[in-house]
């Protein structure tokens, strides 16, 4: 190559470097950049023209043709790899080979994600320097990717709270470490515990078309919504429901002889005074129209609702269920905590609960199933009773609080789910009303501030209201547990494994490698 050609290539290099530096400093395109680019092309063409004979001979050399063939092959392979990665990033298929499908979203999550018609904005708020922030971001990206694989309308954004005070002010974010906000059609929901259960629950809340109305009955000595020093209040229960976009209000029959027409769920917790006949009739009329009811009865109190519960085929046992502990001095009664450990797998309310989880009660009463009397027409048609929560055999029931004498041994049913429809007498004869749904609990403490956030109590309370409000999508999802595959060997099998595989296998590899080395050295 001539000296002039080398100078022209050097000038072309300086021109392209100048082009890159100016483009970087300005941060945008300006007309002056055309000159730098034009000079680069001009100098390259001039260099090829000056040394055209040299390049003509160079390109016809055998080594050059072989090198160009190899270069073309490399370019084709790289192009194929890039194309495969490009297509694979947009069209791919994953297989979950884990035993419990821990890497697959539940059917409920898939259904909700697939139903999105508009963009769902997911904002992950974090704070630099917080403990485990990078790991939490990575885990959340892996989680949200499962939802994005189902629906591309889910958009994820990471926001450092100190860099975007406008967003923290707009969404009222007061805590910046690992908070996630979901926004859909101007509806928002914030979660702190980041897992599939909470994320799907938040997704169900923001996609709900309208709020549901829950009324807490007052006027019969029930547990109220007002704060109480002893914790006998439903204020946390109200906050929990409002956090799930339920509208919660108190109701008293002094206001009206009938329940409000927008009542989705009626809640009665711990009544201690008798109900009047017209009040019971109003509750029955509400249920006959397809209403839903949570009834938590306080042990030792009889508010006159026996006719209501007996029509459902159950009755309070008028006792106290406690846990019995085995001690070196014999059995001892522990009245502080009564655990509900057996959950129905037939009901959507308790189906998500695991075998090792418990609900906490405080001296509840058992609920007994009644036998239908022969010849007496049932007041409720198509009755279905489900034992939601039961104790185990380590529980006993007593009729007095001194726990004297020999109590009855468990298990006992503490929560019943009831479905059915009232039989109505009209001009056309007996007919059935709309199906109603109710849950009866043998203890009111489980919904109060004292016990609401103990173990599974919160999930049981929220799942009950969700099911009664006909919102099964808000029911908690069972956390998936990783199953370990165990290999148990007898002593003989263990020796066979060690001397038949562990020791011989590396020995054989060493021998083969030595043979190959010797043959190559002798070749």
End-of-domain residue from the set 206, 230, 250: 206
Q: DSSP per residue over 125-179, as a string?
A: EE-TT-TTHHHHHHHHHHHHHHHHHH-TTEEEEEEETTT-HHHHHHTT----SSE
pLDDT band at 473 (very low <50, low <70, confident <90, very high): low
Over 50: is that where the pLDDT of 163 sits? yes
Cα–Cα dist 406/404, whole Å: 7
Q: How far is CA 57 from the centre of its chain?
A: 70
Same domain, residue pair 374 and 230: yes
169 and 282 belong to one structural domain: no
What pLDDT is attached to residue 413?
94
- Half-sphere exposure of 97 toward its Cβ, with a 13 Å CA cutoff? 1
**Do 201 and 53 belong together in one domain?**
no
pLDDT for the residue numbered 281: 93
Q: Which residue has the higher pLDDT, 464 or 473?
A: 464
**Nearest Cα to 178, choosing from 194, 201, 155?**
194
Residue 225 lies inside a defined structural domain of this protein = yes
The pLDDT tens digits for 307-337 are 899 999 999 998 899 988 776 666 677 788 8
E strands, 57-118, where? none
Residue 241 or residue 99, greater confidence: 241
Q: Which of 93-97, 143-147, 203-207, 300-304 shows the lowest per-residue confidence on average (mean pLDDT)? A: 93-97
pLDDT at 375: 47
Helices 457-468, 235-243: inter-axial angle, 10-degree rounding: 60
Q: Which of 331, 332, 349 is nearest to 340 (CA)?
A: 349
User: pLDDT class for 414, splitting at 50, 70, 90?
Assistant: very high
Lowest mean pLDDT among 79-88, 97-106, 377-386, 499-508: 97-106
Residue among 395, 390, 375 nearest 460 (CA): 390
Report d(CA 363, CA 414) in Å as an integer.
11
Give the per-residue pLDDT at 314.
Answer: 92
**Tens of pLDDT, residues 375-411:** 456 788 889 999 999 998 888 888 877 777 778 888 9
Does some domain include residue 95?
no
* Any domain includes 251: yes
How many structural domains is the chain composed of?
A: 4
Residue 64 lies inside a defined structural domain of this protein: yes
Q: For residue 327, tell me if it sits in a domain.
A: no
Q: Residues 78, 136: one domain?
A: no
Report the CATH number at residue 266. Answer: 3.40.50
Q: In the numeric block, which tokens belong to residue 470?
A: 């006909």
Alpha carbon of residue 485 to chain centroid: 26
Q: Provide mean pLDDT across the span 225-230.
A: 84
Mean pLDDT of 407-432: 78
Q: In this model, does residue 62 exceed pLDDT 60?
A: yes
Average per-residue pLDDT for the chain: 84
**Residue 427 predicted with pLDDT over 50:** no
Do 464 and 505 belong to one domain? no
Q: What is the pLDDT of residue 297?
A: 94
Q: Based on the domain organization, do 78 and 178 belong to the same domain?
A: no
* Range scoring the smallest mean pLDDT among 96-105, 111-120, 156-165, 210-219: 96-105
In this prediction, residue 475 carries a pLDDT of 66
36/144 same-domain check? no
User: Which is higher by pLDDT, 263 or 58?
Assistant: 263
Name the phi and psi angles at 414, rounded to 5: -105, -20
User: Residue 428: what pLDDT?
Assistant: 46
Q: Same domain for 370 and 252?
A: yes
pLDDT tops 70 at residue 422: yes
Supply φ then ψ for residue 21, to 5 degrees: -65, -45
Residue 273: strand, helix, or coil: coil
DSSP H/E element including 221: none
Tally Cβ neighbours within 10 Å of residue 240: 19
For residue 246, count other CB atoms closer than 10 A to its CB. Answer: 23
* Residues in contact with 171: Cβ distance below 8 Å, sequence separation at least 6, in sequence order: 123, 181, 183, 188, 190
What pLDDT, on a 0 to 100 scale, did the predictor assign at position 480? 58
237 in a structural domain? yes
The 8-class DSSP code of residue 445 comes to G
Candidates 407, 419, 378; CA nearest to 317 is 407
Give residue-wise pLDDT tens across range 110-133. 888 888 889 999 998 888 877 788
CATH number of the domain residue 195 falls in: 3.40.30.10
Q: Tell me the per-residue pLDDT of 239-290, one tens digit each, with 9 for 90 and over.
A: 888 877 789 999 999 989 999 999 999 999 999 999 999 999 999 999 999 9
Instruction: Write out the two tokens for 401.
Output: 């609080």
Task: Give the integer Cα–Cα distance in Å for 377 and 365.
Answer: 28
pLDDT digits (tens, 9 = 90+) for 4-38: 888 888 888 888 888 888 877 777 777 777 888 88
In a domain, 395, yes or no: no
Q: Are residues 67 and 114 in the same domain?
A: no
Residue 259's φ and ψ, nearest 5 degrees, are -70, 150
Is residue 300 in some structural domain? yes
pLDDT reported for residue 461: 92
Helix (H), strand (E) counts: the chain = 14, 21
Residues 309 and 426 placed together within one structural domain of the fold:
yes
Q: For residues 180 and 116, state if they share a domain.
A: yes
Task: Find the domain containing 505 and state its range.
Answer: 491-522
* Strand, helix or coil for residue 474: helix
Task: Give the pLDDT mean for 166-176.
Answer: 73
Distance CA(68)–CA(74), nearest Å, equals: 10
pTM for the complete prediction?
0.64
Q: Where are the alpha helices (DSSP H) in 151-276?
A: 165-170, 196-206, 235-243
Distances, alpha carbon 368 to alpha carbons 76, 246, 387, in Å? 77, 32, 10
Question: Does 436 lie in the same domain as 369?
Answer: yes
């Amino acid at each position: 190559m001539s000296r002039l050609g080398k100078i022209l290539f050097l000038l072309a290099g300086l021109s392209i470097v100048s082009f890159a530096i100016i483009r970087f400093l300005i941060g945008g395109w300006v007309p002056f950049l055309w000159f730098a680019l034009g000079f680069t092309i001009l100098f390259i063409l001039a260099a090829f023209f000056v040394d055209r004979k040299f390049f003509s001979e160079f390109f016809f050399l055998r080594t050059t043709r072989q090198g160009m063939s190899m270069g073309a092959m490399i370019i084709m392979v790289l192009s194929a790899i890039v194309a495969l990665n490009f297509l694979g990033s947009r069209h791919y298929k994953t297989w979950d080979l884990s035993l419990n499908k821990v890497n697959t979203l539940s059917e409920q999550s898939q259904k909700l994600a697939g139903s999105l018609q508009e963009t769902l904005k997911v904002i992950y708020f974090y704070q630099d320097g917080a403990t485990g922030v990078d790991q939490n971001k990575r885990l959340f990206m892996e989680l949200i990717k499962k939802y994005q694989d189902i629906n591309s309308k889910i958009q994820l954004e990471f926001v450092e709270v100190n860099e975007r005070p406008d967003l923290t002010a707009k969404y009222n974010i007061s805590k910046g470490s690992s908070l996630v906000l979901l926004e859909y059609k101007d509806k928002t929901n914030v979660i702190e515990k980041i897992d599939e259960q909470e994320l799907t629950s938040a997704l169900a809340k923001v996609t709900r078309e309208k709020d549901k109305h829950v009324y807490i009955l007052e006027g019969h000595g029930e547990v109220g919504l007002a704060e109480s020093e002893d914790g006998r209040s439903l204020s946390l229960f109200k906050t929990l429901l409002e956090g799930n976009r339920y509208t919660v209000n108190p109701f008293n029959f002094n206001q009206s002889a009938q329940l409000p027409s927008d009542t989705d769920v009626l809640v009665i917790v711990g009544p201690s005074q008798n109900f009047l006949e017209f009040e019971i009739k109003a509750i029955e009329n509400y249920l006959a129209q397809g209403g839903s009811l949570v009834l938590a009865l306080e042990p030792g109190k009889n508010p006159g609702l026996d006719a209501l519960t007996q029509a459902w085929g159950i009755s309070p046992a008028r006792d106290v269920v406690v846990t019995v502990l085995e001690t070196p001095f014999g059995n001892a009664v522990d009245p502080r905590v009564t655990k509900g450990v057996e959950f129905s797998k037939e009901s959507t309310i308790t189906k998500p609960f695991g075998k090792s989880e418990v609900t906490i009660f405080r001296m509840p009463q058992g609920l007994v199933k009644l036998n239908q009397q022969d010849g007496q027409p049932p007041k409720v048609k198509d009755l279905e009773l489900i034992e939601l929560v039961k104790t185990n055999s380590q529980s006993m029931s007593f009729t007095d609080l001194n726990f004297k004498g020999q109590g009855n041994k468990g298990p006992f049913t503490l929560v019943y789910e009831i479905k059915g429809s009232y039989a109505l007498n009209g001009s056309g004869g007996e007919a059935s009303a709309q199906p109603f749904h109710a849950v009866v609990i043998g203890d009111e403490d489980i919904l109060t501030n004292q016990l609401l956030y103990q173990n599974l109590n919160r999930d049981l309370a929220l799942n009950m209201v969700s099911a009664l409000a006909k919102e099964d999508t808000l029911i908690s999802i069972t956390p998936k547990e990783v199953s370990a595959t165990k290999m148990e060997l007898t002593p003989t099998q263990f020796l066979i494994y060690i001397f038949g595989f562990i020791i011989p296998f590396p020995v054989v590899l060493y021998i083969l490698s030595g043979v190959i080395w010797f043959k190559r050295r002798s070749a």
